[in-house]
Amino acid sequence: MTYFAISPDDAPTNKKFAESLSCDYPILSDPDKSVAAAYGVLKPDSEYVSRWTFYIGPDGKLLDIDKSVKVQTAGSDVAAKLEALGVAKAKTTQ
């Protein structure tokens, strides 16, 4: 399984932010907002983007979109959605 975030901030800003949170995933940069526009998250008449989660299967097909992302519960919400979609849990090593 692969996961990442995309932000309209530049790469150095995203790197610093990811490091400050000890993220175990990359935050990709979309400073021209072309990816945001392609995914429909660019808010009309605004410089801001909506915070949505896209679930894309290994075959590239869109499985689901969460348009109500809550920062406080995003991690557990994603885990619950992946389980509902039948995505196997990653094995952990000890």
- The tens digit of pLDDT for each residue in 67-85 reads 999 989 998 999 999 999 9
Q: Residues with Cβ < 8 Å from 6, sequence gap 6 or more? A: 27, 28, 29, 30, 35, 36
Statement: the pTM of the whole predicted model exceeds 0.85:
no
Domain boundaries in the chain? 1-50, 51-88
Average pLDDT over residues 1-26: 92
- The tens digit of pLDDT for each residue in 21-45 reads 999 999 999 999 999 999 999 988 8
Q: Which pLDDT band, with edges at 50, 70 and 90, does 93 fall under?
A: low
Q: For all residues of the chain together, what is the average pLDDT?
A: 91
Full 3-state SS string of the chain: CCCCEEECCCHHHHHHHHHHCCCCCCEEECCCCHHHHHCCCECCCCCCECCCEEEECCCCCEEEEECCCCHHHHHHHHHHHHHHCCCCCCCCCC
pLDDT at position 1, please? 75
